[in-house]
Amino acid sequence: MSTSSDIKPAASAQPSTQPRSIIQALEIDTRMLGMIAALLVIWVGFDIFSGGNFLTPRNLWNLSVQTASIAVMSTGMVLIIVTRNIDLSVGSVLGVTGMIMAVFQASYLTQTLGFNHPLVWIATLLAGMFIGLLIGALQGFIVAFMGVPAFIVTLGGLLVWRGAAWWVAQGKTIPLTDDNFKLIGGGANGAIGETWSWILAAIAVALVLLATVNARRQRKRFQFPLKPMWAEIVTVGLASGAIIAATWVVNAYTLPPALARRFAKEQGIAIPEGGLEISFGYAVPVLVAVGVGIVMTFLAKRTRFGRYVFAIGGNPEAAALAGVDTRKITVYVFALMGMLAAIAAAISTARLTSATNAQGTLDELYTIAAAVIGGTSLAGGAGTIAGAMLGAAVMQSLQTGMVLMGLDSPLQNIVVGIVLVLAVFIDTLYRKRAG
Amino acid sequence: MAENLGHEPGSSTISGTPLVEMRDMSISFGGIKAVDHVSVDLYPGEVVGLLGHNGAGKSTLIKILSGAYRRDAGEIFIDGQKADIHNPRDAKRYGIETIYQTLALADNVDAAANLFLGRELRTAWGTLDDVAMEAAAREVMHRLNPNFKKFKDPVRALSGGQRQSVAIARAIYFNARIIIMDEPTAALGPQETQQVAELTKKLKDEGIGIFLISHDIHDVFDLADRVAVMKNGQLVGTARTSDVTKDEVLGMIILGKCPKGAKPGPGAMASEEAA
């Protein structure tokens, strides 16, 4: 049908002049705001109950490193759950890919390329990601094309891949041989230091600014209603403030004196009077997780793939009738999940500097819990990557906090379990109210 | 070969090649023949009302045309050429757009995302061009429903009429040549129903062929050039609306009784029974 040209698109787009609430004007997701508030309450609460041990640079730095692995997997779990599926196998996939990476590195790569060859770590990681991708694609294929429910396929996968992890090395623990690969796990060397942390922070702030300006220009081009200028400034200010604060915290965590002296000696730095303060800065696994989060958010929000994932979750039949190949998308989502499990495996293997048979056990439950606490609806169609990563931070904060408070581990499980149910209950109430 | 069949006496006034010709369509689900050797056609600028009780097979028949179902037997011709329609994408390639009874909207995304679902506009980088899609959505929605403002909300938050507008916008935006409307006014109030009727006339004037599906004859009779009536998966018959009365069409729907002005199909009651 020909489009009538007498009506300009701008005609329907008068800028709204009605007074709006602050939250509306800022276009902030209230659910996300609530999650951040909940996280802060948890942090302050634990800090009080643990006698000031929680909100220290050291603990927050460790927290960030410990969150990384689950956070990476939770980004994929969001898309899985959004498409009305579930993946119970991620912990076992983490186990088997971690084991394969360790064996591949120790038995083949280091031997052929040489010790600490710069290609070793990247080849290890790529091999792991590829295997993870294949495993995920296989499970996705069975779900999408053979019609077996995802719950069953991945429940089977949970057993199969755990068993496969054992088969790779007959249950042995395989130590990593490549020092570069170990950096992915964090640790004293696996952090980027003060200067680079500030450089990254500056780049991040610049990107936030650029994205805001760009979005505004785009909307101006079509004469859409714009956010008020003060709201833009507040949003950018808050984001930049958070980036700077996080950078300050990770830089406030310094190497213990003994390690600092050894580091100075290795690097040939003179030790100044009053002791040497060497900042950790951002840990590599945290940067990996943040990078994964950004890429996944991009995939979810800015690509056709992401649009289809959400459309399938909202109404699978409608998506199919609109011409979306829902089965192909399902395979892609599972394949992506498998690949992310392998990245998480690289982080946790590198952190332990070896691959063990039990690695990743119960991680599927933490990953699902992180996604769900982060506002992903098990009914499908709703969820955000950032929310899931925050959910992972909430889960890890609870565990770390309870350890600092000296709670017994059975009690810790009880608390985590209750919090999970409570969080989903609150989310249900929120959804009912918000409609 | 189409001439030889000559199963459409009423179509003599509209000449040329039919836009769509569905010949001997059959599909069954678990042994039940939902559509049983049905043939219908549609000419450019023509509105064909597809009538029948709930469960008569109307929706199933058009879902074959829109690519949602695969037929067991039968052939589809578009512009006289045999068409291969295996999925909704194929159908859209032939310019067939469908407004489903259920509207088939993804409730969790906004109007523009639904409008362009499966055919997203993209930037030079291959990313979604949401701003351009919103602009296009604003334009087409303004024509259909000038009061529509909720471009940022998921369609879940829209009223029945607004949702209908989104579904219609999706059908007309992409220069369709054939539009299938499955109970398009089921969820609408009188004023919105009137709007759909006006839109139907406008589309017809532009030479678009329209299948209008309804179980309610009153929705269709005044708009349609012809009606095709189905009962128990079979075609009772087709008739020009100028040659039959509403009561006669009701007789076709309820009893399967084919009046004089209509061309009986395989599902028509035998004439001795009818008498």
Determine the Cα angle at B243 with ends B241 and B248, to 5°.
75
Mean pLDDT confidence for A119-128? 96
Nearest neighbour of B142 by CB, restricted to A7, A313, A382: A7
- How far B146 CA sits from the closest chain A CA (Å)? 7
Note the pTM of the prediction, 2 decimals: 0.88
Nearest neighbour of B106 by CB, restricted to A302, A304, A314: A314
Q: Does residue B180 have a pLDDT over 50?
A: yes
For residue B149, what pLDDT is reported? 86
Q: In sequence order, what are the residues at sequence separation of 6 or more whose Cβ sits closer than 8 angstroms to the Cβ of residue B162?
A: B145, B148, B150, B155
For residue B9, what pLDDT is reported? 41
A313 touches chain B (CB under 8 A): yes
| Structure confidence at residue A19 as a pLDDT band (50, 70, 90) | very low
How many CB pairs below 8 A link A and B? 115
For residue B108, the chain A residues in CB contact (below 8 A) are 310-311, 313-315, 381-382
CB–CB of B113 and A382 under 8 A?
Answer: no
A211 touches chain B (CB under 8 A): no
CB–CB of B119 and A323 under 8 A?
Answer: yes
pLDDT tens readout for residues A25-67: 777 777 888 889 989 999 999 999 988 989 999 999 999 999 9
pLDDT tens readout for residues B132-145: 999 999 999 988 88
Q: Which residues of B7-33 are buried (b: 16+ CB within 10 A; e: fewer)?
A: bbebbeebeeebbbbbbebbbeeeeee
For residue B271, what pLDDT is reported? 54
Of A84-98, A378-392, B141-155, the range with the lowest mean pLDDT is B141-155
For residue A274, what pLDDT is reported? 65
CB–CB of A302 and B92 under 8 A?
Answer: no
For residue B140, the chain A residues in CB contact (below 8 A) are 3
Q: Does residue B272 have a pLDDT over 60?
A: no
Which of B86, B99, B103, B142 is best to mutate for the A interface (most A CBs within 10 A)? B142
pLDDT tens readout for residues A173-195: 999 999 999 999 987 788 998 99
ipTM computed for the complex: 0.85
Strand duo A174-175 + A354-355: pairing = antiparallel
CB–CB of B117 and A3 under 8 A?
Answer: no
- Determine the Cα–Cα distance for residues A383 and A86; give it in Å rounded to an integer: 14
Nearest neighbour of B105 by CB, restricted to A222, A312, A318: A318
Q: Does residue A368 have a pLDDT over 50?
A: yes
Nearest CA in chain B to A321: B88
CATH number of the domain located at residue range(s) A29-189+306-434 in this protein: 1.10.3470
A13 touches chain B (CB under 8 A): yes
- How far A60 CA sits from the closest chain B CA (Å)? 36
Nearest neighbour of B139 by CB, restricted to A7, A221, A322: A7
For residue A32, what pLDDT is reported? 84
- Determine the Cα–Cα distance for residues A395 and A399; give it in Å rounded to an integer: 6
Q: Does residue A18 have a pLDDT over 50?
A: no
Could you tell me the residue ranges of all domains in chain B? 2-95+176-274, 109-175
Which of B64, B94, B131 is best to mutate for the A interface (most A CBs within 10 A)? B131
| Structure confidence at residue A157 as a pLDDT band (50, 70, 90) | very high
Mean pLDDT confidence for A145-172? 95
Sheet hosting strand B73-78, strand order edge to edge = B32-42, B20-29, B73-78, B81-82
- How far B203 CA sits from the closest chain A CA (Å)? 7
More confident of the two residues B156 and B7: B156
- Residue B83 has which token pair? 């068409």
Mean pLDDT confidence for A72-95? 97
CB–CB of B176 and A381 under 8 A?
Answer: no
Question: Do B205 and B26 meet the contact criterion of CB atoms below 8 Å apart?
Answer: no
- Residue A54 has which token pair? 């929680």
A379 touches chain B (CB under 8 A): no
For residue A23, what pLDDT is reported? 67
pLDDT tens readout for residues B74-105: 999 999 999 999 999 999 999 999 998 888 99
- How far B274 CA sits from the closest chain A CA (Å)? 40
- Determine the Cα–Cα distance for residues A340 and A69; give it in Å rounded to an integer: 9
For residue A2, what pLDDT is reported? 42
Q: Does residue B263 have a pLDDT over 80?
A: yes
For residue B146, the chain A residues in CB contact (below 8 A) are 12
- How far A325 CA sits from the closest chain B CA (Å)? 9
CB–CB of A317 and B102 under 8 A?
Answer: yes
Q: Does residue A276 have a pLDDT over 80?
A: no
Of A108-112, A288-292, B15-19, B243-247, the range with the lowest mean pLDDT is B15-19
Mean pLDDT (chain A) is 89
In this structure, CATH architecture of domain B2-95+176-274: 3-Layer(aba) Sandwich (3.40)
For residue A132, what pLDDT is reported? 98
For residue B138, the chain A residues in CB contact (below 8 A) are 9, 12-13
Mean pLDDT confidence for A215-240? 87
| Structure confidence at residue B262 as a pLDDT band (50, 70, 90) | confident
Please give the share of chain B, as a percent, with pLDDT higher than 90. Answer: 49
A220 touches chain B (CB under 8 A): no
Give residue B253's identity as a one-letter amino acid code: I
Mean pLDDT confidence for B234-243? 91
For residue B64, the chain A residues in CB contact (below 8 A) are none
A4 touches chain B (CB under 8 A): yes
For residue A4, the chain B residues in CB contact (below 8 A) are 143
- Determine the Cα–Cα distance for residues A76 and A296; give it in Å rounded to an integer: 8
A24 touches chain B (CB under 8 A): no
Of A428-432, B26-30, B250-254, the range with the lowest mean pLDDT is A428-432
Nearest CA in chain B to A383: B108
Report the Cα B232 to chain-centroid distance in Å: 19
Nearest neighbour of A13 by CB, restricted to B102, B120, B138: B138
Could you tell me the residue ranges of all domains in chain A? 29-189+306-434, 192-282
The burial of A111, by beta-carbon neighbours within 10 Å (0-12 exposed, 13-18 middle, 19 or more buried), is given as: exposed
Residues 287-306, chain A, touching B (beta carbon < 8 A): 298, 301-304, 306
Q: Does residue A233 have a pLDDT over 60?
A: yes
Of A390-399, A417-426, B110-119, the range with the lowest mean pLDDT is A417-426
Mean pLDDT confidence for B45-68? 91
Mean pLDDT (chain B) is 86
For residue B11, what pLDDT is reported? 40
A18 touches chain B (CB under 8 A): no
